[in-house]
Amino acid sequence: MSDKIECFQNLPGTPKAVGPYSPAVRAGETYFLSGQVGLDPQSGTLVGPNVTSQTQQVLANVKAVLSGVGLSLSNVVKSTVFLTDMGNFQTVNSLYATAFGDHKPARSTVQVSALPLGALIEIEVIAVA
């Protein structure tokens, strides 16, 4: 593996990966974060049955992964939001806007038929140091 590429595993305060992947990979100054679902880092189970609680946990998980590599939400340049029901868009959009504040990275939001572990939302981000 090139010394310019680094995979991060077992970051403090983040859920364990549910598959054979790294929660974050650095390539140069760019960090690619794997999608986060609403897993509680302690129990490894989905929080709450609704999109509000899951979105709050997803955003907390994204922040924790970023923090684990020395970054914050202000370093995010692109995010992708995956929803199993686009009817939840307004709720997610409001929570997302609160989390990111004045920082407004590029974003895509798509509806998918299913997500791992029955999650209602997943968010992946790209950040630059």
What percentage of the chain has pLDDT greater than the value 90?
94
Domains of the chain: which residue ranges?
5-128
According to CATH, the superfamily of the domain at 5-128 is RutC-like (3.30.1330.40)
pLDDT, average across residues 32-36 = 97
pLDDT, average across residues 37-49 = 96
Q: Tens of pLDDT along 69-98?
A: 999 999 999 999 999 999 999 999 999 999
pLDDT, average across residues 14-39 = 95
CA distance 29 to 104: 20
3 state SS of 17: coil
Instruction: Examine the pLDDT at 108 and tell me if it is beyond 50.
Output: yes
- State how far Cα 70 lies from the chain centre: 15
